[in-house]
Amino acid sequence: MPDPAIIPPDRHRITQDQIDPEVIGIIAELRDAGYEAYLVGGSIRDLLQNAIPKDFDVATSALPDEVKLLFKRRCRLIGRRFRLAHVYAGRDIIEVATFRAQTPPEEDNDRSLSSGGRILRDNVYGDRHEDALRRDFTANALYYDPETENIIDDVGGFQDIQANLLRLIGDPAARYREDPVRMLRAVRFAAKLGFNIDPDTANPIYELAPLLREVPPARLFDESLKLFLSGHAEASDELLCDYDLFHYLFPYATSEEFQPEESMLLDLAFRNTDERIAAGKPVTPAFLFAAIQWGPVHHAMEKHLEAGKSPQESLLLAQEQQITNPAEGAALPKRFGIPMREIWSLQWRLHQRQGQRPYRLLSHPRFRAAYDFLLLRNEAGEPLQELCDWWTEFQEASDERRQQMQQGLPPAPGRRKRKPRRKKATPQISEQ
Ligand code: ATP
Ligand code: MG
């Protein structure tokens, strides 16, 4: 086994005050109990990039049960595919993972691979060096020792980070076969860190992308949250499209049949999500997924309208034939179904501005999301400017002004007439 590179503090320039003291405490407790323990993974990568880490992960020689015994009620064991200890420290949860090894299939014991080589369970423990080798990217495989303040680097990750390079550890094609989600992770980290993907790491993606069809839909969903709700949705989306991966996540969200506005909405929703996160505003997955599915829903709804159904009925039918439970791609948890439907059905109700209706809408818990969604649709090119301006003003207006605003409103769009008998059909229907 080659000796790892040791990078002393004067070369890496990470200082202790950048690290959550709770994590240092947890590492010290593990070491006092006789185990090895280090800070590992994304947090060191982020600190080397002068970014603030999202969380701090610990890697240890202690087995999950031993971690549990040590931290007792402060600790919960989670995960089946990948058994892991959560240690509670104040308001934080610190992930404490036992060193794992990358075992070849013939030595397989407590590790199961599917016939295609995909890892189904991943609980073969090993030493620190083996733990480094089983990680995905070199940039994610650095260990920090809080006592010596050295970084330990088995895979050349320190250099790669300085060169802004994302590189898989080991043979890239084999690593993707083991876990196809690593293709999505490559895109995610490249987008987040602004790294280039090393050609040897990038090239196999084009050929191996179809392996993503084997990944459980719930895991694709988890990964899609990380791709799109971490502040780098726009860059992630671009890279996903470059590598032709987007449709494995959302096969129903792109279609030649969609209108340009329907596709545009998606781009705008990603940008909007990034801007909200950058501004510290809350983002809800339901809003983003309502945008991702707007293409198919809107498209189906238009067809029902053309067949003479009312807007309400059309929307109901369109919702039904989609998509909270697709056969392929990321599966959305059921709990998002209700808010997504509300955002869509409010799109229609926002047209109804007579009498008490707009007042009732203002106090609807989903009003704000529906209004933001309407603005995005308008920005994407749907002809909704008048309606958007009206709602923007109405929200802030005095009672008196609100009453004025309700005079002389255009009629809300209704059932679409297939064959107008005398007059030409009025153009209001385009606002659906
Ligand atoms: P982020 O800041 O986005 O959370 P991260 O590097 O912490 O980035 P996680 O998904 O939280 O990413 O994973 C923690 C660490 O576990 C990674 O840095 C990597 O070393 C390892 N890891 C996670 N997923 C995989 C995987 N699919 N294959 C190999 N190693 C992985
Ligand atoms: Mg992490």
Average pLDDT, integer, range 210-237? 95
| Protein residue whose Cα sits closest to atom 1 of ligand 1 | 42
Which segment of 127-131, 154-158, 250-254, 258-262 scores lowest on mean pLDDT? 258-262
The whole-number average pLDDT for the span 62-91 is 93
CA of 141, nearest ligand number: 1
Domains 5-214 and 246-407 share a fold: no
Q: For ligand 1, what atom is nearest to the CA of residue 182? A: 27
Looking at per-residue pLDDT, the higher value among 301 and 258 belongs to 301
Q: Is 297 helix (H, G, I), strand (E, B) or coil?
A: helix
CA of 35 to the centre of ligand 2 (A): 22
Q: Which ligand is nearest to the CA of 118?
A: 1
Parallel/antiparallel/unpaired status of strands 165-166 and 196-197: parallel
Secondary structure letter of residue 54 according to DSSP = S
Hey, which of 120-134, 369-383, 407-421 has the most confident mean pLDDT?
369-383
Ligand 1 first shell, C-beta below 6 A: 41-42, 54, 57, 135-136, 140-141, 179, 181-182
Cα(359) to centroid(ligand 2), Å: 44
Q: What is the pLDDT of residue 427?
A: 44
Say yes or no to pLDDT of 431 above 90: no
Distance, first Cα to last Cα, the chain: 65
| Calpha distance 123→107 (Å, rounded) | 13
Q: What's the average model confidence in pLDDT over 216-226?
A: 93
Q: What's the CA-to-centroid distance between 174 and ligand 1, angstroms?
A: 18
Q: In this predicted model, what pLDDT tens digit does every residue of 368-393 receive, in sequence order? A: 999 999 999 999 999 999 999 999 99
Task: Give me 304's structure tokens.
Answer: 């029902």
Q: What is the mean pLDDT of residues 189-211?
A: 97
Decide yes or no: CATH 3.30.460.10 for domain 5-214. yes
User: Is pLDDT of 43 > 80?
Assistant: yes
The pLDDT of residue 213 is: 94
Q: What is the pLDDT of residue 423?
A: 47
What is the pLDDT at residue 426?
47
pLDDT tens, 15-36? Answer: 999 999 999 999 999 999 999 9
Residue 73: count other Cβ atoms within 10 Å of its Cβ. 7
Mean pLDDT of 202-224: 95
Instruction: Name 195's Cβ contacts closer than 8 Å, sequence gap at least 6.
Output: 139, 164, 165, 166, 189
pLDDT in the model for residue 210: 96
Per-residue confidence (pLDDT) for residue 312, from 0 to 100: 83
| Residue nearest (by alpha carbon) to ligand 1 atom 9 | 42
CB 57 within 8 A of CB 40: yes
Total number of residues shown for the chain: 432
Nearest ligand, measured from the Cα of 175: 1
**75 vs 334 pLDDT, higher one:** 75
Give the type of residue at 200: D
Exposure letters 398-429 (e unless 16+ CB within 10 A, then b): eeeebeebbeeeeebbeebeeeeeeeeeeeeb
**Ligand 1: which of 135, 175, 229 to mutate, most ligand atoms within 8 Å of CB?**
135
What whole-number distance in Å separates Cα of residue 63 and Cα of residue 84? 9
Q: What is the mean pLDDT of residues 327-345?
A: 84
Distance CA(71)–CA(177), nearest Å, equals: 36
Tokens, residue 432:
């659906």
Report which of residues 321 and 46 the model is more confident about: 46
DSSP H helical ranges for 229-336: 233-242, 246-249, 260-278, 285-292, 294-306, 311-320
Q: Are 154 and 165 in contact (CB under 8 A)?
A: no
- Measure 57 CA to ligand 2 centroid, in angstroms: 7
Taken in order 245, 247, 250, 255, the sign of the CA dihedral is positive
Q: Catalytic residue positions?
A: 55, 57, 136
Comparing CA positions, the residue from 165, 197, 178 lying closest to residue 135 is: 178
- Which atom number of ligand 1 is nearest to the Cα of residue 41? 18
The pLDDT value recorded for residue 215 is 94
**261 C-alpha to ligand 2 centroid (Å):** 35
Most ligand 1 atoms within 8 A of CB, residue of 38, 46, 122, 136 to mutate: 136
pLDDT band at 114; cut points 50, 70, 90: low
112-134: average pLDDT? 77
User: How would you write 347-378 as a 3-class SS string?
Assistant: HHHCCCCCCCHHHHHHCCCCHHHHHHHHHHHH
Does the pLDDT of residue 106 top 60, yes or no?
no
- How far apart CA 94 and CA 117 sit, in angstroms, is 31
pLDDT confidence tier of residue 416, bands split at 50, 70 and 90: low
pLDDT for 263 beyond 80: no
pLDDT band at 420 (very low <50, low <70, confident <90, very high): very low
What ranges do the domains of the chain cover?
A: 5-214, 246-407
CATH fold for domain 246-407: cca-adding enzyme, domain 2 (1.10.3090)
* Number of other residues whose CB lies within 10 A of the CB of residue 225: 13
How many CB atoms are located within 10 Å of the residue 365 CB?
8
List the 151-153 sheet strands across, edge first. 5-7, 151-153, 142-144, 37-40, 57-60, 92-98, 84-89, 75-78
What is the rounded average pLDDT of the residues 245-260? 82
Mutation choice for ligand 1 from 140, 152, 169, CB with most ligand atoms inside 8 A: 140
Pick the residue with more confidence: 190 or 418?
190
* pLDDT tens profile 227-244: 999 999 999 999 999 999
Dihedral over alpha carbons 324, 327, 331, 333 (to 10 degrees): 50
- Cβ atoms of residues 62 and 100 within 8 Å: no
Residue that is written with structure tokens 């080397």 in the block: 48
The protein residue whose alpha carbon is closest to atom 24 in ligand 1 is 136
Q: Looking at the CA of 102, name the nearest ligand.
A: 1
Q: Please, which residues have CB less than 5 A from ligand 2, an ion?
A: 42
* Whether residue 325 has pLDDT greater than 50: yes
- Main-chain phi, psi angles of 267, to 5 degrees: -60, -45
Nearest Cα residue to atom 26 of ligand 1:
136
pTM of the model: 0.87
Which DSSP string corresponds to 298-318?
HHHHHHHHHTT--HHHHHHHH
How many angstroms does the Cα of residue 365 sit away from the middle of ligand 2?
A: 32
Q: What is the mean pLDDT of residues 116-131?
A: 77
pLDDT score of 41 more than 50: yes
